[in-house]
Chains A and B, each alone.
Chain A
Amino acid sequence: MKDITRINNTYQDDKVIDACSIFGMMDTSGNTFSGEDIIKAIANMRMRGNGLGGGLAIYGLYPNYADHYAFHIMYLSPEGQQETEEYIRQKFDLVHTEIVPTRPAVGIVNPPAVWRYFLNVGHQKPEDQTEDDYVVDRVMEINTTLKDTFVFSGGKNMGVFKGVGYPEEIADYFCLEQYKGYLWTAHGRFPTNSRGWWGGAHPFSLLDWTVVHNGEISSYGTNRRYLEQFGYQCSMQTDTEVIAYAVDLLIRKHNLPVELAVRVLAAPFWDDIDRMPPGERKLMTTLRQVYGSLLLNGPFTIIIAHEGEMIGLTDRIRLRPLTVGAKGTMLYLSSEESAIRLISPDLDNTWIPTGGEPIIGRLGEPLKVPPVAIVA
Chain B
Amino acid sequence: MKTFLPPKFVIKRDEDRCIQCQVCVNQCTFDVHSYDIDDDAIRSREENCVGCHRCAIFCPTNALTISKNPMDYRDNQNWGAELVEDITKQAETGGMLLTGMGNDKSHRVYWDHLVLNASQVTNPSIDPLREPMELVTYIGRKADRVEIDPKTGELITELPPQIKLEVPVMFSAMSYGAVSLNVQESLARAATEIGTLWNTGEGGLHSSLYKYGKNTIVQVASGRFGVHSQYLNAGQIVEIKIGQGAKPGIGGHLPGEKVSLDVSLTRMIPQGTDALSPAPQHDIYSIEDLKQLVHALKEATNYTKPISVKIAAVHNSAAIASGMVRAGADMIVLDGLRGATGAAPKIIRDNVGIPIEMALASVDTRLRQEGIRNQASLVIAGGIRNSGDVAKAIALGADAVYIGTAALIALGCHVCQQCHTGKCSWGITTSDLALTRRINPEIGARRLANLLRGWSLEIKDILGGMGINALESMRGNRLHLRGIGLNQTELDILGVRMVGD
Contacts and interface: CB of A to CB of B under 8 A. Distances in A.
Contacts, number: 117
B474 A299 contact: no
Chain B interface extent, by class? 35 or more
B209 to A, nearest CB: 28
B240 to A, nearest CB: 23
Nearest to A280: B155
Nearest to B367: A229
A295 B132 contact: no
A219 B162 contact: no
Q: For chain B, what secondary structure do more than half of its interface residues adopt (helix, strand, loop), or is it mixed?
A: loop
A297 B469 contact: yes
Given A17-B122, A270-B134, A290-B159, A222 B145 contact: no
Given A216-B122, A222-B474, A267-B470, 5 more contacts: A220-B479, A286-B155, A288-B472, A290-B142, A317-B469
A219 B473 contact: yes
A334 interface: no
Contact of B476 (A14, A192, A230, A293): A293
Interface in B104-142: 119, 122-124, 126, 131-132, 134, 136, 138, 140, 142
Contact of B162 (A220, A260, A289): A289
Nearest to B133: A269
B468 A257 contact: no
A76 to B, nearest CB: 28
A257 B152 CA distance: 12
Given A269-B134, A270-B134, A298 B148 contact: no
Interface string A263-288: 00001011100000001001100111
Chain A interface extent, by class? 35 or more
Contact of B124 (A15, A283, A299): A299
A295 B473 contact: yes
A218 B468 contact: yes
A256 interface: yes
A255 interface: yes
A192 B122 contact: yes
Contacts of A260: 146, 148
A297 B374 contact: no
A101 B473 CA distance: 44
A96 B308 CA distance: 59
B473 A254 contact: no
A307 to B, nearest CB: 18
Contacts of A256: 146, 148
Interface in A176-194: 192
A216 B123 contact: yes
A218 B119 contact: yes
A218 B146 contact: no
A55 to B, nearest CB: 20
B366 to A, nearest CB: 12
27 contacts: A19-B122, A215-B123, A216-B123, A218-B119, A219-B477, A220-B477, A222-B473, A229-B371, A229-B373, A229-B374, A254-B145, A254-B146, A254-B147, A256-B148, A267-B470, A269-B134, A286-B146, A286-B159, A289-B162, A290-B142, A290-B374, A292-B470, A292-B475, A293-B475, A297-B469, A297-B473, A319-B124
